[in-house]
Structure 1
Amino acid sequence: MLLALDTSAGSSVAVIDGDLVLSELSTEDTMRHAEVIGELIAGALGEAGVDGSRIRTVVSGMGPGPFTGLRVGIAAARAFAWGVGAELLPATSHDAVAFGEWEAGFHGPLLVVTDARRRELYWSSYDVAESGIARTDGPALCKPDEVPYPDFERVDATQVSAGALGRHAWAERQRGVVEEFGEPLYLRAPDVTVPGARKRVS
């Protein structure tokens, strides 16, 4: 049994058994990740009729995404996995969007774009074949007028499905492809800075 979480664009939580999504709850609210993530986890587990102790794997969306929102989802995934003794798998959030397009029957070059705020966009490019998806470039950050690959089919995603994220990550694991749990894909430095030395007051 698997729990997937993504807060790179809104918040989404899904409970998955093998290839079947038992429940998925999402919100496009990009300002209240910390307030809603606990409710979404509890709601998804309740809707699926699954006790948290039955979760053996937790998939965490690693972005790209804005700093604060993305941190909330990753922290929640880490805490839940630690609490129930589950393994923790990372997953690139844009992969879930491309996976969803592949499941819908799309084949060809694909560009996934999400809002990075500050008048910037995140993007990733994919080769979507009959056999599955392969990321060919990105994730990266750019201005709206600098988005590459204008000839690719473009998907501007306002949300990342935790169901698609978890199913794709599990399918990749079954093929022996497992990402290391590295740094989140913020793709820009946080606003906070280390304060300088205090000025002497004479």
Structure 2
Amino acid sequence: MSAKILALDTATEQCSVALMVGEKVYFRSEFAPRDHTKKILPMVDEVLKEAGLTLSDLDALAFGRGPGSFTGVRIGIGIAQGLAFGADLPMIGVSTLAAMAQGAYRLHGTTHVASAIDARMSEVYWGRFERQEDGSWNEVDAECVIPPAVLVEEVQKDDNTWAKVGTGWQAYAEDLANLSLTLTDTDMLYPDSQDIVYLAQFEWAKGNTTPVEESSPVYLRDTVAWKKLPGRE
């Protein structure tokens, strides 16, 4: 893992930037639910200055592609595209749910993680992830947006203990308490660019980058919103 990658994320209430150069990570992170647009570019400038690099010195620009707040995800990809376009960098979108799984491993060493972000509208963004020997993550449950009560019906118990990450566990504690999984608590509520940049290295190694104009967010509600429009079935 030797690519020089800058990552940023504004998909949730947390705003963060991380730059990985070799084994060194420069990062800034702040809880700023309404100030993403004010905070993110100064953070980018700070980590680049600390590393002694410019955008043109980098290999790629990674971003939290969602799911998360519609506004937050749009802000993140818009800023990332602007930076990448100006420096002619390829882009790497990273799941915010998978990033939280990596964060739980970084902080607690957990290898089985259940990610749940409060999606509002009585739903959660959900995904389960299992860490592989090479440090990557396997998706056990595909990312989805789902009512907690329906999730309880669909998830099957297994022999693993799953670490809980994300805001969904607090927002829908009563419903999610009925999950058949064996669960353990963590203090991981939000994705962090430190973990996004780590996962982006795996995508870089596999050649999974996209041009600026083809990079896109993941809302998970895209299809639902589209079908609600007249004539858009």
Give the TM-score of the pair, scaled to structure 2.
0.71
Aligned residues between the structures: 192
Alpha-carbon distance, 1:94 to partner: 1.5
The answer to whether 1:11 aligns with 2:15 is: yes
The CA distance in 2 between the partners of 1:61 and 1:127, in whole Å, is 19
The residue correspondences of 1:1-202 to structure 2 (distance < 5 A) are 1-9=4-12, 10-21=14-25, 23-103=26-106, 104-107=108-111, 109-132=112-135, 133-148=137-152, 149=155, 152-156=162-166, 157-174=188-205, 176=206, 178=208, 183-189=216-222
C-alpha contact (below 8 Å) 1:110/1:125 kept by paired residues:
yes
Residue 154 to residue 178, structure 1, CA distance change in 2 (3 Å): same
CA distance in 2, matches of 1:58, 1:179: 9
Cα distance change on mapping 1:98 and 1:72 into 2, 3 Å: same
Stretch of structure 1 that moved more, 60-69 or 125-134:
125-134
- The alignment's C-alpha RMSD in Å is 2.7
CA distance in 1, matches of 2:193, 2:65: 12
Could you tell me how far 1:25 is from its partner in structure 2?
Answer: 0.9
Segments of 5+ residues of structure 2 without an aligned counterpart are 167-187
Report the alpha carbon displacement of residue 179 of structure 1 after superposing the two structures with TM.
6.2
Contact persistence 1:115–1:158 (CA under 8 A): no
Q: CA deviation at 1:16?
A: 1.0
Amino acid at match of 2:164: R
Counterpart of 1:199 in structure 2 is none
1:57-102 per-position Cα deviation (integer Å, ceiling 9, x unaligned) = 1011111112111011101111101111111111112121212333
Q: Percent identity?
A: 28
- Alpha-carbon spacing, 1:179–1:115, altered in 2? closer, same or farther (3 Å): farther
Alpha-carbon shift at residue 171 of structure 1 (Å)? 2.4
Aligned partners of 1:35 and 1:147: how far apart in 2?
37
* AA partner of residue 28 (structure 1): F
Residue 194 (structure 1) shift? 7.5
State the 1:128 CA deviation: 2.5
